[in-house]
Amino acid sequence: MHTSTLIIVLLGLMSLAYYMGRKRSLNLVSGRVRDLHSLPSYYGLLTALWCGIPAILLLVVWISFEGSVVTGLVVDSLPQETQNLPPERLNLVLNDIRNLATGDIVSTTVDENMQQAADHYARLQGISHMAMFVAALSLAILAGFIAHRSISRQQRARNRVEKAVNFFLLSSSTLAIFTTIGIVLSVLFESLRFFQQIPVTDFIFGLEWSPQTAIRADQVGSSGVFGAIPLFAGTFLITLIAMVVAVPIGLLSAIYMAEYAGRHFRSLAKPVLEVLAGIPTVVYGFFAALTVAPFFRDLGASLGLGVSSESALAAGVVMGIMIIPFVSSLSDDVINAVPQAMRDGSYGLGATRSETIRQVIIPAALPGIVGGVLLAVSRAIGETMIVVMAAGLSANLTANPLEAVTTVTVQIVTLLVGDQEFDSAKTLAAFALALVLFVITLALNMIALHIVRKYREQYE
Amino acid sequence: MTRVEKSLARRYRQERNFKRLGLGAILLGLLFVSFLFISIFANGYTAFQQTFIKLDVFYDPEMIAPVGETDPDVLSAGNYGGLVKATMRELFPSVTSRRDKKKLYGLISTGARFQIRERVMQDPSVIGQRESIWVPADDDVDMLIKGHIDLNLPESDRRIKDDQLSWIQGMQEEGRVEKRFNTTFFTAGDSREPELSGIKGAAVGSFFTLLICLAISFPVGVAAAVYLEEVAPKNRWTDLIEVNINNLAAVPSIVFGLLGLAVFINFFGLPRSVPLVGGLVLALMTLPTIIIASRAALKSVPPSIREAALGVGASPMQTITHHVLPLALPGMLTGTIIGMAQALGETAPLLMIGMVAFIVDIPGGAMDPSAVLPVQIYLWADSPERAFVERTSAAIMVLLAFLISMNLLAVWLRKKFERRW
């Protein structure tokens, strides 16, 4: 039997428990519901919860410890000389045993000991599985039975069920906090290991990035330099180009939509522009690499300029297109939040529409617009697929948008896609970069949200 | 007064220019949208057709198995590659040199031998007989027929050489070359050969991933929103949760991938490249979107509903489950669909947890290694063959079709159930 079958069986037991609990409560008062403390369905729910939750908790605990316990027992049964191997070698042996037990391909020749160990492993796992089934099902039946017996007229079933639901609500909302803690810890932990190998100052102030580390000490040209400045510069350059495209177009279209456009035009143009926000970034990346980058290269060639086929310009422009709806919808919100009285006052003094917009509305909405632009910047910095597909791979410290540059996110992807060794500086560097990325976007966000909130309070 | 009148012309001109500027910005935006769609469509629509070549195959008993053989093991071990080659040699008897023969065999897809094997396995009685069948052409031939190969280039720069060209023309004159609807594209997994590759594997992978994502993020997201909006006391802890959710919404998606790599794969030891891990990571990523949308939906339920329910004696939890939640549910579903659309298009975090592996098999469950649609697009976009360009575009069209229908569903839900109180 599979674990999923067990869960289905448990669900079945829970519905049975619901039915039984409900029936018992009704039988207790022989159908007169008003004599019960709670509605009959609450007695049913309480029984079902008692039946399901302890068993599911047991399952979770069992599954998370099963692997290490079984592995430990198998290791104990191995010959002494195998047990004394260094941890990495021992892991290889264990892997082979596991593969042998499941019938997969084994990397070494199979000898007597290994075959025994594999059989032992398979047997232990079988026992553990069986035991898990029996334990979970008997716990479910036992707990459900006790809950069923303890149903009485005065039992505060509703309050208990509500308490359980409340606990579920609370724990769901704390998941966000656990996610943040998880991100910080996982990134920080590996980054610290990275900084044990490479000094922090080299990482933050170094001007050269070449993450290939030597496998053997005598190899040439694979020193491994981890200076992140070229990556930050590349990220900054592409973000700047994206903003140069996105901010004017996004802002002006928001102004036109809010102040000039007629109803029909707005109801037509707005959804079409919002389509841009729903397109996956991988599509933009393909568009940039296949259409935009060759276009800029040919344009440059016809003007006598050498434009790289992975130019920062192409990636930046396409990223700008992606961000247009983001800027325009945020600006739309803040422009609409400017009180009508300010517009009326300006018109009353004889100002034209454009004068009102430029001299009254924009200054009033400026903090909100700045906040929106900062949010857009943080999006652009963290954007991955467009730059992975359209920007370069090698670090290049330049301010020329026609050359190829690389970004923080591109390097994270190139360092982590493929084989990873969690003891080499090369893999760990990705986590250090991610830490920087996380801190920068978080800071930008905090500032932006703060500004936007301040601005909202001003007009409320 | 005269000064004002003098300046009026200039001011009206400025007004007109400003208005034009705004209109120009919107038109530019619309231009980008249409340009993007046209470029994808123009590159991709040809992928829905595939060139086939008609071969007169003689099911040679010497190459496959004696007539009357039905044992599947013997049948599947036949030399079907040789059979295809023999058929091609028979078609062009004038080709004799080794190099020319190799070029000749290159016109037919390597999938042809598997197709013939299938045919024989299904009906062993064809052995010893002759039959005309349509087999897929090689991707280079396909590109030539579709007009994507520039014949003005010198021969050495072309994937199709001059003598291959003359053979193809010969076959075309005999009516042996035909373009048909490309069913392989919708029924096959990934392949190194463009003419044999399809998106079904990636689509099924996406389906399982989204299923896991939905199963986690919807209940948890709704519960978190209900807690924050309806139950939570106003204190520092609640504030902390709120700030956290807002910040998570803006964390770059790639960072979630690193979280998945460090926590689910390295710490919990879950396998790489499986939809389960992908779904977990995407669930964490879409959670803030769903929570924020659900809170907005809860906020739009007027307080009078709650007060009325409490007034007739419902408990706070009954008020929520019986009255507030049903009214807020359409809004929550809309937010969830938009979150799912976002998850369907997401690529970067999945690269981090190893979903970029080359996987031919169509996954059968959430624990089978698989690709997802956007990652498949990324992988094909990286492939050098010209034929993968049109398949990438076609895959994008399929992905966009899914996304647009999800968004339309969300709009329809909102329109249908929207209530102004």
Last residue of a domain, one of A155, A171, A187: A155
Chain B environment of A291 (Cβ under 8 Å): 39
A213 lies in some domain: no
**Secondary structure of A168-187 in the HEC alphabet?**
HHHHHHHHHHHHHHHHHHHH
Q: Are B176 and B119 in contact (CB under 8 A)?
A: no
B331 CA: distance to closest CA in chain A (Å): 19
Helix, strand, coil percentages (3-state) for chain B, rounded to 5, are 70, 5, 25
Counting Cα atoms < 13 Å in the Cβ hemisphere of B164 gives 24
Bridge partners for A404 per DSSP: A311
Task: Report d(CA A287, CA B39) in Å as an integer.
Answer: 8
Last residue of a domain, one of B148, B182, B216: B182
Q: Are A392 and A310 in contact (CB under 8 A)?
A: yes
**Are residues A245 and A377 both part of a single domain?**
yes
Name the residue range of residue A311's domain. 225-459
A375–B250: do the CB atoms touch at under 8 Å?
yes
B254–A431: do the CB atoms touch at under 8 Å?
no
Helix, strand, coil percentages (3-state) for chain A, rounded to 5, are 80, 0, 20
Q: Which amino acid is at B263?
A: V
Task: Report d(CA A71, CA A128) in Å as an integer.
Answer: 12
Residue ranges of the alpha helices (H) in B77-154? 80-91, 98-105, 111-122, 139-145
B318 lies in some domain: yes
Q: What is the pLDDT of residue B85?
A: 87
A9 CA: distance to closest CA in chain B (Å): 19
Chain A environment of B231 (Cβ under 8 Å): 166, 169-170
**Are residues A144 and A230 both part of a single domain?**
no
Chain A environment of B43 (Cβ under 8 Å): 290
**Are residues B264 and B348 both part of a single domain?**
yes
B114 lies in some domain: yes
Chain B environment of A354 (Cβ under 8 Å): 14-15, 17-19
**Are residues B169 and B205 both part of a single domain?**
no
**Are residues B88 and B219 both part of a single domain?**
no
Mean pLDDT of chain A: 85
Q: What is the pLDDT of residues A422-454, one digit of tens each?
A: 667 788 888 999 999 999 999 998 898 888 777
Indicate the DSSP class of residue B195: G
B223–A172: do the CB atoms touch at under 8 Å?
yes
Beta pairing, strands A225-226 & B49-58: unpaired
Task: Report d(CA B323, CA B183) in Å as an integer.
Answer: 49
Q: What is the pLDDT of residues A116-151, one digit of tens each?
A: 778 888 888 888 888 888 999 999 999 999 998 888
Instruction: Give the CATH number, domain containing residue B271.
Output: 1.10.3720.10
**Are residues B364 and B400 both part of a single domain?**
yes
> What's the token pair of residue B115?
């197709």
Name the residue range of residue B222's domain. 200-417
Instruction: Give the CATH number, domain containing residue A379.
Output: 1.10.3720.10
**Are residues B142 and B207 both part of a single domain?**
no
Q: pLDDT band for A109, please (50, 70, 90 cuts).
A: low
A258 lies in some domain: yes
- To test the contact with chain B by mutation, choose from A39, A42, A173 the residue with the greatest count of B C-beta atoms within 10 A, namely A173
Query: Does residue A212 register a pLDDT over 80?
Result: no
Task: Report d(CA B274, CA B371) in Å as an integer.
Answer: 8
- To test the contact with chain A by mutation, choose from B241, B245, B259 the residue with the greatest count of A C-beta atoms within 10 A, namely B259
Q: What is the pLDDT of residue A246?
A: 94
**Are residues B236 and B375 both part of a single domain?**
yes
The total number of structural domains in chain A stands at: 2
Q: Which residue of B has its CA nearest to A409?
A: B254
A405 CA: distance to closest CA in chain B (Å): 19
Share of chain B above pLDDT 90, in %: 37
**Are residues B388 and B251 both part of a single domain?**
yes
A194 CA: distance to closest CA in chain B (Å): 15
**Are residues B291 and B367 both part of a single domain?**
yes
B33–A252: do the CB atoms touch at under 8 Å?
no
- Residue B363 burial (C-beta neighbours within 10 Å; 0-12, 13-18, 19+): buried
Residue in B258, B396, B407 closest to A186 by CB: B258
B105 lies in some domain: yes
ipTM field: 0.90
Task: Report d(CA B231, CA A226) in Å as an integer.
Answer: 49
Q: Is B135 helix (H, G, I), strand (E, B) or coil?
A: strand
Stronger pLDDT, A456 or A148, i.e. the higher one:
A148
Per-residue pLDDT of chain B (421 residues; tens, 9 = 90+): 778 788 888 889 999 999 999 999 999 988 998 999 999 998 888 888 889 988 888 888 888 878 777 788 888 888 888 888 888 888 888 888 888 888 888 888 888 888 888 888 888 888 888 888 888 888 888 888 888 888 888 877 788 888 888 888 888 888 888 888 988 889 888 888 888 888 999 999 999 999 999 999 999 999 999 999 988 888 898 888 888 898 888 899 999 999 998 888 888 878 888 899 999 999 999 999 999 999 999 999 999 999 999 999 999 999 999 999 999 998 899 899 999 999 999 999 999 888 888 888 888 877 888 889 999 999 999 888 888 988 999 999 999 999 999 988 888 888 888 776 6
B23 lies in some domain: no
The total number of structural domains in chain B stands at: 2
**Are residues B398 and B261 both part of a single domain?**
yes
Chain B environment of A379 (Cβ under 8 Å): 250
Q: What is the pLDDT of residue B89?
A: 86
Last residue of a domain, one of B182, B216, B243: B182
> What's the token pair of residue A113?
């000991």
B158 lies in some domain: yes
Chain A environment of B36 (Cβ under 8 Å): 279, 283-284, 287, 321
**Are residues B112 and B219 both part of a single domain?**
no
Chain A environment of B269 (Cβ under 8 Å): 67
Q: How many CB pairs under 8 A join A and B?
A: 248
- To test the contact with chain B by mutation, choose from A94, A99, A169, A411 the residue with the greatest count of B C-beta atoms within 10 A, namely A169
Give the residue among B70, B49, B48 at the shortest CA–CA distance from B124.
B70
Q: How long a stretch of residues is chain A? A: 460
Indicate the DSSP class of residue B134: E
B281 CA: distance to closest CA in chain A (Å): 10
Task: Report d(CA B399, CA B420) in Å as an integer.
Answer: 34
B83 CA: distance to closest CA in chain A (Å): 32
Q: What is the pLDDT of residue A216?
A: 57
**Are residues A275 and A389 both part of a single domain?**
yes
A173–B352: do the CB atoms touch at under 8 Å?
no
Chain A environment of B28 (Cβ under 8 Å): 249
A173–B25: do the CB atoms touch at under 8 Å?
no
The set of residues, in sequence order, having a beta carbon less than 8 Å from that of B413 and lying 6+ positions away, is: B330, B333, B334, B337
Residue in A259, A324, A353 closest to B29 by CB: A324
Query: Does residue A78 register a pLDDT over 80?
Result: no
> What's the token pair of residue B364?
């059968």
Q: What is the pLDDT of residues B289-340, one digit of tens each?
A: 999 999 999 999 999 999 999 999 999 999 999 999 999 998 899 899 999 9
B187 lies in some domain: no
What is the pTM for the complete model shown?
0.88
User: How many C-beta atoms lie closer than 10 Å to residue B98's C-beta?
Assistant: 7
Chain A environment of B227 (Cβ under 8 Å): 169-170, 172-173
Last residue of a domain, one of A131, A155, A179: A155
Query: Does residue A303 register a pLDDT over 80?
Result: yes
B73 lies in some domain: yes
**Are residues A139 and A254 both part of a single domain?**
no
Chain A environment of B378 (Cβ under 8 Å): 282, 285, 385, 388-389
**Are residues B121 and B244 both part of a single domain?**
no
Distance of CA A346 to the CA centre of its chain: 46
Last residue of a domain, one of B182, B211, B241: B182
Last residue of a domain, one of A128, A155, A182: A155
Residue in A384, A417, A437 closest to B356 by CB: A417
The set of residues, in sequence order, having a beta carbon less than 8 Å from that of A446 and lying 6+ positions away, is: B247
- To test the contact with chain A by mutation, choose from B8, B38, B254 the residue with the greatest count of A C-beta atoms within 10 A, namely B254
Q: What is the pLDDT of residue A374?
A: 92
A191 lies in some domain: no
Chain A environment of B12 (Cβ under 8 Å): 352
**Are residues B343 and B255 both part of a single domain?**
yes
Task: Report d(CA B329, CA B417) in Å as an integer.
Answer: 9
> What's the token pair of residue A119?
């059989």
**Are residues A230 and A148 both part of a single domain?**
no
B254–A170: do the CB atoms touch at under 8 Å?
no
